[in-house]
Amino acid sequence: MRSVYDVATWVFHGKNWFMGREKHQPHPISSATIAERHKGLLLSALGLTLGFLILEVIGSLWTGSLALLADAGHMLTDVAGICLSLVAIWFASKPPSPSNTYGYVRLEILAALANGVLLLSMAAFILYEAYRRMWSPPEVLAGPMLTIAVVGLGVNLASMWLLHRGANESLNLRGAYFEVLGDAMASLGVIAAALIIQFTGWTLADPLISGAIGLFILPRTWNLIKQAVQILMEGVPPHLDVREIETAMRTSHGVRDVHDLHVWTLTSGKEAMSAHVLVDDLSDGQHILNDLQTLLRERFNIEHTTVQLESDRSPLIKVSPGVRL
């Protein structure tokens, strides 16, 4: 559970004793990330994928199928990606320290980015190899290729079933889910290629379908990388609108204006916000802070907030024309 506590501080500015208050809520960041709750599912998916990877590598060497080898290579990125996810979850569970006050929750996003880069590299390799084999397609054993592909599809579907819940909540698990989804599509492609070769003898089906698998991977990989980079750049979460948040805060009781508003994502499911709020009366600051905290939590699901209250944005010293100081 996330720990929640309230802190109010007085900040003094210049001779006028300009008063402000800050509200921090909640601190510290909980180590129980969304991805951590699904660690058991990741471990199960890892066991299934790793076991079939070994079988598929042996099968690709036996049958000479590039499509099967492409699927095996993609499964290798699955294994690496899931391992990265598990390592990231382990680090994210470590408590905050004086040198890492947010803890290690961002490692989940770094793992998702690494998964995306692995997938992109694998897709490029598949496309290159498919192009090369189109000019000299090798002989392929369609029967064993078909059997291995059908077993692989079953493994992928089982892994997808394990990961689909967590994929809706965690970017890290979403990366692993997309990798398994890509594998499932690759297995369908391998099955189609095996059937075509089995019944027609047209061996070009193998590199053509391999290239289609590579093209299928690319857009999903690019989307995953974009989401990870957006979080690492501390961009506004796509499901939130800063202008809507600012308007809602301005309508809260006692608030005159809002400025220096920033919203960003710490890790999947954990958004943070900071803002300066101009108020009518600082003596009512605690009620204003409580109202804003409730608004941000209930309407926008933002629980980690830092709000500084200000009573006046006018300059502390006013210089009139012709007056010498």
User: Please, what's the b/e burial string for 273-290 (b: 16 or more CB within 10 A of its CB; e: otherwise)?
Assistant: bbbbbebeebeebeebbe
Tell me, what amino acid is at 149?
A
Of 69, 66, 57, 64, the closest CA to residue 208 belongs to 66
Of 274, 284, 283, 279, the closest CA to residue 307 belongs to 274
Quick one: pLDDT at residue 37? Answer: 65
Structure token pair of residue 2: 């996330």
Q: What are phi and psi of 26, to 5 degrees?
A: -100, 165
At 122-170, the pLDDT tens digits run 788 888 888 888 887 777 778 888 888 888 888 888 888 877 777 666 6
Confidence label for 9 from pLDDT (cuts 50, 70 and 90): very low
Quick one: pLDDT at residue 313? Answer: 55
Confidence label for 277 from pLDDT (cuts 50, 70 and 90): very high
What is the torsion angle, in degrees rounded to the nearest 10, for the CA atoms of residue 82, residue 84, residue 86 and residue 92? -140
At 291-321, the pLDDT tens digits run 999 999 999 999 889 999 998 755 444 445 5
Dihedral of alpha carbons 47, 174, 223, 207, sign: positive
Q: Is 92:107 a contact under the CB 8 Å cutoff?
A: yes
At 225-269, the pLDDT tens digits run 898 899 999 999 988 999 999 999 999 988 999 999 999 988 777
At 91-102, the pLDDT tens digits run 767 777 788 777
Where do we find the tokens 């802190």? Answer: 7
Most confidently predicted of 52-61, 152-161, 179-188, 298-307: 298-307
pTM summary value: 0.66
Q: Which is more confidently placed, 140 or 3? A: 140
CA distance 112 to 226: 10
Structure token pair of residue 213: 């698998």
Angle between helices 39-63 and 142-167 (to 10 degrees): 160
Ordered by start, the domain boundaries in the chain are 8-29+236-310, 34-232
Contacts of 61 by beta carbon, 8 Å cutoff, 6+ apart = none
Tell me which CATH code domain 8-29+236-310 carries. Answer: 3.30.70.1350
Tell me which CATH code domain 34-232 carries. Answer: 1.20.1510.10
Q: Is 267:228 a contact under the CB 8 Å cutoff?
A: no
Where do we find the tokens 């402000």? Answer: 20
Mean pLDDT of the chain: 76
Q: Which is more confidently placed, 67 or 295? A: 295
